[in-house]
A = this chain, B = another copy of it.
């Protein structure tokens, strides 16, 4: 600890937000080059040109920085998936597109950046809040599509909706969660389509 450790704690405000973002961007670059696990906050501070205490003013720990990067990345995946389903109106087609886009975007983001994959693996293993929030958003998105399909009279209504949403989420999970995705490449070409079709058959009237 340096003598300005009294500054530690969460900072707030628009200017602070910019600094936070600047630290995140620089940290992501640094992690991309040297890896998340091996990097210390001291090394990160040196590479950004800030004092370690100054970084601690914005982030409580290295994990907090990793979390922010991970959250950003998961939000991007979610936005792309939402954009993919926004252009169609049929609930069946929305479900099909969700099953196609989520795995594809996840794979693309992580293949583009192996070191980002490393952070995502940490996030998924440690059940970081960003991961849990993301999974809940996917479950919610699934449930919304199910509700729409039921109202439109396209999907069966006998099964409790939470059971349907949960089982559909469990089917999709191996292609979302980076820990599972890394072992699901072999099936990647056919699995999302086959599984969307299975779920749609299960929803038939």
Contact = CB atoms under 8 A, between A and B. Distances in A.
B187 A170 contact: yes
A83 interface: no
Interface size on A, as a range, is 20 to 34
Contacts of A201: 156, 159, 201-203
- A contact patch SS: helix
Nearest to A170: B191
A23 to B, nearest CB: 30
A161 interface: no
Of A159, A174, A199, A204, chain B has the most CB atoms within 10 Å of the CB of: A174
A192 to B, nearest CB: 10
Interface of A: 124, 156, 159, 163-164, 166-168, 170-171, 173-174, 177, 179-180, 183-184, 187, 190-191, 194-195, 197-199, 201-204
8 contacts: A159-B197, A167-B197, A170-B187, A170-B194, A173-B174, A179-B183, A180-B180, A202-B202
